[in-house]
A = this chain, B = another copy of it.
Amino acid sequence: MAGERATPLLKDELDIVIPTIRNLDFLEMWRPFFESYHLIIVQDGDPSKTIKVPEGFDYELYNRNDINRILGPKASCISFKDSACRCFGYMVSKKKYIYTIDDDCFVAKNPSGEDINALEQHIKNLLSPSTPHFFNTLYDPYREGADFVRGYPFSLREGVPTAVSHGLWLNIPDYDAPTQLVKPRERNTRYVDAVLTIPKGTIFPMCGMNLAFNRDLIGPAMYFGLMGDGQPIGRYDDMWAGWCTKVICDHLNLGVKTGLPYIWHSKASNPFVNLKKEYKGIYWQEDIIPFFQSVTLPKECKTVQECYLELAKLVKAKLSSVDPYFTKLADAMVTWIEAWDELNLAGDGSAKALNDTAK
């Protein structure tokens, strides 16, 4: 499995979204796996800087000026000086699937020493169903060599469509600043050969470093929030997206998988800087998580957009007392959906035109 080229099936159905502030040398290592796909690069920070992309890759690149031009006043919902800006790439993509990866993530090796084709595993995860309604002790029942165990209800074996594939990280684990500070030398060396569905009703900490999703099924929920420049918080962009996404997946009967594939995360970010970004989130999440654990969406909400707007309302009503930031965030959630719909429901022509200007 590992080492093979990704199935060509999704060549024209998947975009790779990369947020960055630097030259994309890391792509050299990914060349055999990424070269046949289209990249959407979201340049963060100073738009006058030129980002070098290795020869041979097919890409479009958006900097802050592009984002401002394309979204106009609605650009306020896209974070600046924070990798949360990546969600702009989800919005301008026209593909069915998105894979997003950080530029400090490299190709990992499986226990046999072969290069792991992360994208191929994500595609497998997304193309096979999920099983959120009952737990399978042998993990993903759709993998080769596995199945549903004794006692698994037959009526649930068809599964549900998979919306999200959450991949993991060897070497530097995705720890918060306090854990980084306490365990500066900890490395993740354990290769767990499993993919599993996160059960319905269970929310989880979704990391944006190595993440794929079905944009048609869940795209509008993949908003990475307001982080970075001018905001009181950072490093909760993917968490926010994960909480919202999981609640909406549960409501719409969609699945979220976690586990394989691994990437090699090369470098821990600065824990002191991280602590500054995180400390309000560490405090706030004690209220946010119970909110998401108990939130229920009315059954009238049948599209991701309807669910998301309802969630924005609930965020404003229930979390604004935690901090005024959540009022602003709830408004940004609405703006995000407006912008999404503008770019995506406006007919192919205009949406394509926006893309064409960006190259």
Contact = CB atoms under 8 A, between A and B. Distances in A.
Contacts of A143: 190
A148 interface: yes
A151 interface: yes
A152 interface: yes
Contacts of A153: 285-286, 289
A164 to B, nearest CB: 12
A147 B203 CA distance: 18
Given A134-B204, A135-B204, A168-B138, A151 B285 contact: yes
13 contacts: A134-B202, A134-B203, A134-B289, A146-B173, A149-B174, A149-B176, A150-B175, A150-B235, A150-B239, A153-B286, A155-B286, A194-B194, A199-B201
Say how many copies of this protein the assembly contains: 2
Q: Which has the most chain B C-beta neighbours within 10 Å: A145, A203, A286?
A: A145
Interface string A188-218: 1111111000111111111100000000000
B111 A148 contact: no
Interface string A127-153: 000000011111100010111111111
B285 A183 contact: no
Interface of A: 111, 134-139, 143, 145-155, 166, 168, 173-176, 178-179, 183, 186-194, 198-207, 235-236, 238-239, 242, 258, 282, 285-286, 289
A151 B194 CA distance: 22
A349 to B, nearest CB: 40
B286 A138 contact: no
A152 B205 contact: yes
Given A137-B207, A174-B149, A286 B154 contact: yes
Nearest to A256: B135
A175 B147 contact: yes
B286 A205 contact: no
A199 B358 CA distance: 45
A34 to B, nearest CB: 24
Nearest to A152: B205
A182 to B, nearest CB: 9
A147 B134 contact: no
A193 B242 CA distance: 25
Contacts of A183: 147
A137 B168 contact: yes
Contact of A192 (B151, B152, B192, B282): B192
Contacts of A285: 151, 153
A87 to B, nearest CB: 17
A273 to B, nearest CB: 14
Nearest to A111: B111
Contact of A190 (B145, B203, B205, B258): B145
A186 B138 CA distance: 13
A201 B204 contact: no
B239 A189 contact: no
A137 B205 CA distance: 7
A285 B134 CA distance: 12
Nearest to A183: B147
